[in-house]
Amino acid sequence: MSISTDPGTHQVQQKYDTKYHRKYECCGEPGIESGTNVKLNLGPTLAKAGYGKDKLNLMVFDDNLSVFEKFVPTVLEDRETAKYVSGIAYHHYGGYPDGFPTEIQENYTDMFLLSTEACHLEGPDLGLWSAGENYASDIIRALNEFVRGWVDWNMALDMSGGPRWNDKKGYGGAINIDPTKGEAYKQPSFYAIGHFSKFIPPESVRIGHTVDKSVPSFTVLTVQRP
């Protein structure tokens, strides 16, 4: 379960909607309001119903890491809020202008980190090999930065990268389905994900490695399987 929020102010949210002429199904809460909501409403309600951390993982943030600093500390530095939170959800869009925020593991060691959304913003082009490479690169980087898992945006899309209710432009994923032909097309992204999901089972542990830096564009992930 995650709370989808906008890390800025309500004014920023309104400008965003006006500029792009679209709205998303999110709360639009700044960090301080989201944290107060968890502390005073959502957290106590879940706990009273018997859904504590032993039964349910409540995640906060669920946005791009480029705005991590504007949101997460505001929420989790309040221990009365943090006691209800199990993890930090984030998306893979937007890049990491200041590097991957490794302070997550330093400051929030009791929280897990999960990449909860990824897709190809370039569109649903069939056979786009660079899209598969992008997925693989991001998964390797994420798991090397203590991320517990990585989730694709959607299991399957139609041939236009939809359905989408708020934008005419569709995005790319792992599988596209043509309902008129009854056919499904596995994209390079599908096979890229498979290189990890098939060979890294649950309970695997990331272990250290060294890389020959003289080899350009070479990334490595090493894990010990159970």
- pLDDT for 96: 62
Asked whether residue 25 carries a pLDDT value surpassing 80, the answer given is no
* Assigned CATH for 3-153+200-224: 3.20.20.80
Task: Note the pLDDT tens digit of each residue in 108-118.
Answer: 888 899 999 99
- pLDDT for 195: 94
Asked whether residue 180 carries a pLDDT value surpassing 90, the answer given is yes
* Per-residue pLDDT band at 16 (split at 50, 70, 90): very low
Q: What sign results for the dihedral spanned by CA atoms 90, 143, 139, 67?
A: positive
For range 76-102, the mean pLDDT:
82
Of the ranges 32-41, 70-79, 99-108, which one carries the lowest mean pLDDT score?
Answer: 99-108
- Conformation bin of residue 123: beta by default, left when phi > 0, alpha when psi is -120 to 50: left
* Token pair belonging to 39: 């502390």
Is the model's pTM score more than 0.75? yes
- pLDDT for 5: 39
Instruction: Give the residue among 91, 128, 92, 88 at the shortest CA–CA distance from 112.
Output: 88
Task: Note the pLDDT tens digit of each residue in 209-226.
Answer: 998 888 887 889 999 999
Catalytic, 117? Answer yes
In the set 117, 122, 145, 203, the catalytic residue is: 117
Distance separating alpha carbons of residues 6 and 47, to the nearest angstrom: 25
pLDDT top residue among 189 and 8: 189
Enumerate the domain spans of the chain: 3-153+200-224
Per residue in 44-77, is it b (16+ CB within 10 Å) or e — as a string?
Answer: eebeeeebeeeeeebbbbbbbbbbbebbbebbbe
